[in-house]
Structure 1
């Protein structure tokens, strides 16, 4: 399967202050990255774009822009790499071919017969457990 390459022209990066632990560093350095991928104008096929829209869910805006935020790491570069990796995985998943169509099958005569025999046997077992008939 050929991998879809992401054009850097379709990306925008914004850096913001990360939340969570990090001490004083978190209050003064903008290490979190917000990656915006313009999927609508990226030239993806209609099938890939629709699948990407489904997989993205709330991360895709009405304008067809996927917004990913990465703030796990303390460095800007590692957060940028993580966001790019997540975006590439999302696009690769959307580009996979659709699964084959499932065709319904019928149970074989033998399996139907075995099923009915086991039901009859179970019914007889339950019947034997009932109270004896008194006249």
Structure 2
């Protein structure tokens, strides 16, 4: 039985929800390129999956919206000569993409103010600079 695609320790996608398509690849491989279907397209229906909890699914749909076509995401891999290695590459890319899409948002930045010393230093530098420019002025 094929093993599920592990996204995180708590989230995995069953193999049955992944759809594979194979075609001829361009690139390295010599004459073998013309005869073997080594290019891989991995399609995953993100909108229709039950593998993700509703909150994570909504977050992933929002973050991956520009890449989705009808709620599905497609990953193509053709960088290797063998179909098996391209399949592994596509699986790894999909797992990484989903991992980044369901990650919690970063903490909000706590606004800070410059310290009193920093403000005083900046103002004294401005006064010094203006004095230098004032002394360079031509009076006459």
What is the aligned partner in structure 2 of residue 111 from structure 1? 118
1:20 is aligned, of 27, 32, 37, to: 27
Runs of 4+ in 1 over 6 A off after TM superposition: none
Q: Can you give the 5+ residue segments of structure 2 that lack an aligned partner in the other structure?
A: 1-7
Which residue in 2 is equivalent to 1:77? 84
Aligned residues: 132
More displaced stretch, 96-105 vs 31-40: 96-105
Pick the aligned partner of 1:89 from 93, 96, 101: 96
TM-score normalized by the length of structure 2: 0.83
State the alpha-carbon separation in 1 of the partners of residues 20 and 96 from structure 2.
18
SS in 1 for 2:30: coil
For structure 1, the 5+ residue unaligned runs are none
What is the CA-CA distance between 1:3 and the residue it aligns to? 4.2
RMSD: 1.9
